[in-house]
Each structure stands twice: as structure tokens, then as C-alpha cells.
Amino acid sequence: MSRVAYVNGRYLPQAHATVHIEDRGYQFADGVYEVIEVHQGALIDEERHLQRLVRSLGELRIDAPMRAGAFRIVLREVIARNKLRQGFIYMQISRGVARRDHLFPDPVVRPSLVVTARLVDPAKAGAKAAKGIRVITMPDMRWKRPDIKTISLIANVLAKQAAKDRDSGEAWLLDADGLITEGSSSNAWIIDQSGTVITHPVTNAILQGVTRTTLLTLLEKLGHRVEERRFSPQEAYDAKEAFITGATSIVTPVVAIDDHVLGTGTPGPIALNLRAHFHDVAPRTD
């Protein structure tokens, strides 16, 4: 079945869906995006994702392309037309199409909106989590506002590729003090030898992951001790367990960091338990 994409008011076969060459998303990465998991046909954490999208738009001073109600209908239509039960919805809004000029278009132009669907094979995702991933650390080369979910992702792209080149699934990015901020497309977590779960606090240095927020609820429910503070690569090497979170990775265990193997080099029981129970607490909307 060919995939269906929504592009500026039309539902089109994805192979025929195109945007203008002077779209500011294409020329300046002048736009924002969100990725929402679809689990058993329902949207996971839709509210928080849409709130963050509104925040990102506000930070870049881009108008919403449509009202929230209409937007939700588009998301559901893309899910329905793609018969999506398990996977993701990707949505991207750019400042719109205008003659190339760094300044905002004046008068304001209509923002561009694209929504696509991606089907995921749950068995493959499960197998990856069961094996765990390795991560590397490297300097965080991104701009100073990674809390905004912009499509300007070149530093993230280079970091992820650097990880792949070293047989790893994620790169953990180091701030100016050499401490870990987050992954190139996920939040970073460790569990120390006493069982305390540690992750970077919400600041401008990380994206406030929706999965991160929901996982904090689960951690509290399960009675885990949590510290939201920065941590060093050395603490990560010495950790009992580690994992990443994100709408696409949910909770994925980390088994080695910069060639330091954690424990027996297999996914830790706490991370696996958090993954198993994530969807018990994550809000879902049909």
C-alpha cells in the first residue's frame, strides 16, 4: 500500500507529495516538528506533543497553520488513510514560502504543514530493545536552544552518524563542562549502583522529551528514587544501567557507553521493566 501524506490542505500519495523550492523549511530549516507514537491505533501523549508544538511555534514566532481542532482531525485522517496501527505520525510546520531572504516574509505568508505516517514492525522494535544499544559521547555542537524542536538538525544528524560509524545506536552530547545533556534524538538516563535514576534537568540545554515527562510519572508510581541533575561520562561508565527515551525509542536500554560495558552487557531489568509498563501510564487518544 502506498503511503498517504498531508501537504498544505491535500492528501496525496507520498511519492507525489512535494513542497515548493522556496519553502523556508527547505532553505533555512525555518520550521518546527513533532513525532507522535501511534500504539494500537491510538495517539500516545498527543496533548503534550501538541502543547510542545505550540511552544516551539511561539519561540520561532511562526503562526499556527490551523486551529487545534482541525489539526487533530488531519492527524486522525493521516492515521486512517495509512491504516496505521503501530508507528509514528510526523508533522512539520515551516514559516512558509517566500523569496529567499533571512528576514521573516512581510507580509506574513501562510505556514506550510506536512503530516506523514510511518509504520513500524513491533517485533523489530522489540528485538532492538531486547538487545540494547551502545552509545558514544561527543561534544554537543547544537545551537543554544535545543529546547525548541526545530527542524534544524544537522548537528544531531552528524552525531547520530558518528554513533553508527562506531557501531552504536545513539550519541550522548557533552556540554561545555563535559557533562551529558541528552542524545541526538532521545533523552539520556542512568541508574547508579544505589538504584537512583538520574537524568538531565529541564533547561534550555535539552529537549523536554514527552516520553521523559511520562516516564517520570511511571518512575514515581513504581517508587524509584529520581534525581534530575547533570551527570558525567564517568558516572555513566560506572552506572548499573542506562537507557534512552523518546517517542520512537520509548525506553531502550543502553548496554555500553564509549566501550565501557555496563554490567553483563545486556539490558538491565529496571530499563526493561520501564519499557514493559510505559504504555500502562502513557495517555492515549483515538
Which stretch in 75-83, 100-108, 179-187, 234-242 sits in contact with ligand PMP by CB under 6 A? 179-187
User: What nine digits make up the cell of 163?
Assistant: 554513533
Identity of the residue, 97 or 231, whose beta carbon is nearer to ligand PMP in the bound complex:
231
Whether 149 sits among the annotated catalytic residues: the reply is yes
- 211 is a contact residue toward ligand PMP (CB under 6 A): yes
Which stretch in 94-102, 232-240, 243-251, 267-275 sits in contact with ligand PMP by CB under 6 A? 243-251
Contact 201, 229 (CB under 8 A): yes
Among 24, 134, 160, 212, contact with ligand PMP (rule: CB under 6 A): 212
Instruction: Give dist(CA 97, CA 93) in Å, integer.
Output: 11
Contact 137, 104 (CB under 8 A): no
Residue of 177, 166, 163 lying closest to 229 (CA atoms) = 177
- 186 is a contact residue toward ligand PMP (CB under 6 A): yes
3-state secondary structure 21-69: CCEHHHHHCCEEEEEEEEECCEEECHHHHHHHHHHHHHHHCCCCCCCHH
How near is the Cβ of 246 to ligand PMP at its closest, in Å? 4
Who's near 256: CB < 8 A, 6+ residues apart? 134, 135, 168, 262, 265
- 275 is a contact residue toward ligand PMP (CB under 6 A): no
Among 245, 272, 278, 282, contact with ligand PMP (rule: CB under 6 A): 245
- 199 is a contact residue toward ligand PMP (CB under 6 A): no
Identity of the residue, 46 or 241, whose beta carbon is nearer to ligand PMP in the bound complex:
46
Set 131, 149, 160, 221: catalytic member? 149
Amino acid residing at 253: P
Identity of the residue, 98 or 159, whose beta carbon is nearer to ligand PMP in the bound complex:
159
Which strands make up the sheet holding 87-94, listed edge to edge? 10-13, 4-7, 112-119, 87-94, 31-39, 42-44, 284-285
Angle at 212 between CA 206 and CA 218, to 5 degrees: 160
CA 256 to chain centre: 21
How near is the Cβ of 245 to ligand PMP at its closest, in Å? 6
How near is the Cβ of 186 to ligand PMP at its closest, in Å? 5
Among 7, 17, 19, 35, contact with ligand PMP (rule: CB under 6 A): 35
- 31 is a contact residue toward ligand PMP (CB under 6 A): no
List residues binding ligand PMP (CB under 6 A).
Answer: 35, 182, 185-187, 207, 209-212, 245-247
Q: Which residues are catalytically annotated?
A: 149
